């Protein structure tokens, strides 16, 4: 090889080696977009906007939160998957979008495992089994005793058979050895309202949707679905106290389109972790939804997503749900 050609080759390699670092240092130099699958005004929307406000300060750049609700998260997830992998689009993703939809929907127009790269965890959202204030059930044991004596008579409100609440209702009943009447609602708000009003006695919902009614005494919590008790509701037992190993929660993560520059993903992860580990932000998030322990690393988030994907595959099989 001639010396001139060798020099050119060496220079090109040096530039290629430093390009990712340079990209990360200069990024972002324009508006960043954060997509989510929930409507404006929802709990997830409030969380996304709170986090975006903090990241925008760190990045000295505006972040636009774009709501793409509908289709069991498919509309938002598909839009995110098809976005340019240039470091300027992120997806505020739910567990449904990334790990349960493949088991529930035939011909899903995106591949959660191939179309996204993990950025970081946002937090986990416990679910809670609760009853109206006038219910005869004071504990989970009371409920189980009644259900065994009256197979199929106990009505449990949730958001539908293919939602987290619906699937956990069936899984919980199976593991407790009881038969229940799972009552589907078009929204968790409607399910909460009917449970408070006594039209249905039992509710299985995400904790943020029920917590105000629990604190006001209009709903009585019998157990949370996470293995550990929940901060602020330490007197509410975990269902795992009755069913060892029962540990389920919804969760939220931030991902990016596959192919997004590694330097951008790493910086976004680092800054997200700094936001979530701020005590004030963590407290504000807890008031409206998730329990956060920081973003974790990119690798930890990826490993978590793979475990959840496999676990929910087992759950959907166990409760007999097939994709439609």
- Per-residue pLDDT at 23: 53
CB-side neighbour CA atoms (13 Å) of 168: 24
- Per-residue pLDDT at 60: 96
DSSP-assigned letter for residue 207: H
Helices marked H in 129-177: 140-149, 164-176
Per the DSSP assignment, residues forming a β-bridge with 203 are 130, 157
Give me the number of domains the chain comprises: 2
Contact 68, 89 (CB under 8 A): no
Percent of the chain with pLDDT over 90: 75
Nearest to 275 by CA among 106, 41, 52: 52
Nearest to 146 by CA among 154, 135, 155: 154
b/e code 212-244 from CB counts within 10 Å (16+ = b): ebbeeebbbbbbbbbbebbeebeebbbbbebbe
pLDDT band for position 235 (cuts 50, 70, 90): very high
Whole-angstrom distance, CA of residue 143 vs CA of residue 180: 11
State which of 54-68, 201-215, 286-300 shows the largest mean pLDDT. Answer: 54-68
Residues 120 and 166 placed together within one structural domain of the fold: no
- Per-residue pLDDT at 116: 98
pLDDT of 6 over the 50 cut: no
What does the mean pLDDT of the chain come to? 90
Q: Which structural domain, as residue segments, surrounds residue 294?
A: 24-124+249-318
| Average pLDDT score over residue span 293-309 | 96
> Residue 39: which CATH number?
3.40.190.150
Whole-angstrom distance, CA of residue 150 vs CA of residue 145: 9
Query: Has residue 90 been placed in a domain?
Result: yes
pLDDT of 311 over the 80 cut: yes
Q: Give 238-290 pLDDT, tens digit per residue.
A: 999 999 999 999 999 999 999 999 999 999 999 999 999 999 999 898 887 78
- Per-residue pLDDT at 16: 47
Whole-angstrom distance, CA of residue 165 vs CA of residue 296: 26
Residues 134 and 233 placed together within one structural domain of the fold: yes
Q: Give 144-166 pLDDT, tens digit per residue.
A: 999 999 999 999 999 888 888 89
Cβ neighbors of 109 (< 8 A, separation 6 or more) are 74, 78
Residue 203 — φ and ψ, nearest 5°? -135, 135
pLDDT band for position 24 (cuts 50, 70, 90): low
Query: Has residue 17 been placed in a domain?
Result: no
DSSP-assigned letter for residue 100: I
Least confident of 7-16, 21-30, 251-260, 292-301: 7-16
Give the three-class secondary structure for 203: strand
Q: Is the dihedral of CA 133, 163, 89, 307 positive or negative?
A: positive
Residues 95 and 132 placed together within one structural domain of the fold: no
Residues 118 and 137 placed together within one structural domain of the fold: no
Residues 314 and 236 placed together within one structural domain of the fold: no
DSSP-assigned letter for residue 170: H
Residues 130 and 214 placed together within one structural domain of the fold: yes
Count other C-beta atoms under 10 Å from residue 154's C-beta.
21
Query: Has residue 273 been placed in a domain?
Result: yes
pLDDT of 122 over the 60 cut: yes
Whole-angstrom distance, CA of residue 205 vs CA of residue 224: 10
């Amino acid at each position: 090889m001639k010396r001139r050609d060798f020099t050119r080759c060496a220079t090109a390699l040096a530039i290629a080696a430093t390009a990712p670092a340079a990209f990360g240092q200069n990024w972002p130099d324009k508006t960043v977009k954060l997509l989510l699958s929930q409507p404006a005004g929802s709990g997830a929307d409030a969380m996304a906007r709170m986090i975006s406000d903090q990241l925008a300060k760190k990045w000295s750049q505006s972040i636009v939160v774009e709501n793409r609700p509908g289709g069991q998260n498919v509309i938002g997830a598909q839009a995110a998957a098809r976005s340019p992998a240039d470091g300027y689009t992120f997806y505020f993703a739910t567990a449904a979008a990334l790990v349960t939809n493949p088991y529930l929907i035939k011909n899903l127009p995106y591949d959660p495992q191939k179309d996204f790269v993990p950025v970081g965890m946002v937090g986990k959202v416990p679910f809670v089994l609760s009853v109206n204030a006038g219910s005869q059930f004071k504990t989970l044991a009371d409920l189980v005793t009644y259900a065994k004596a009256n197979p199929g008579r106990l009505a449990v409100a949730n958001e539908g058979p293919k939602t987290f609440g619906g699937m956990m209702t069936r899984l919980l009943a199976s593991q407790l050895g009881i038969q229940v009447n799972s009552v589907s609602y078009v929204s968790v708000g409607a399910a909460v309202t009917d449970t408070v009003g006594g039209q249905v006695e039992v509710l299985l919902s995400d904790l943020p949707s029920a917590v105000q009614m629990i604190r006001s005494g209009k709903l009585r919590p019998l157990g949370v679905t996470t293995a550990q008790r929940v901060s602020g509701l330490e007197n509410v037992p975990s269902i795992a106290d009755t069913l060892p190993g029962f540990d389920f929660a919804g969760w939220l993560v931030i991902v990016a389109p596959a192919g997004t520059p590694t330097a951008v993903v790493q910086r976004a992860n680092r800054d997200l972790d700094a936001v979530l580990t701020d005590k004030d932000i963590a407290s504000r998030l807890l008031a409206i939804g998730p329990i956060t322990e920081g973003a974790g690393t990119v690798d930890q988030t990826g490993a978590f997503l793979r475990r959840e994907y496999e676990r929910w595959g087992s759950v959907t099989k166990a409760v007999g749900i097939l994709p439609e």
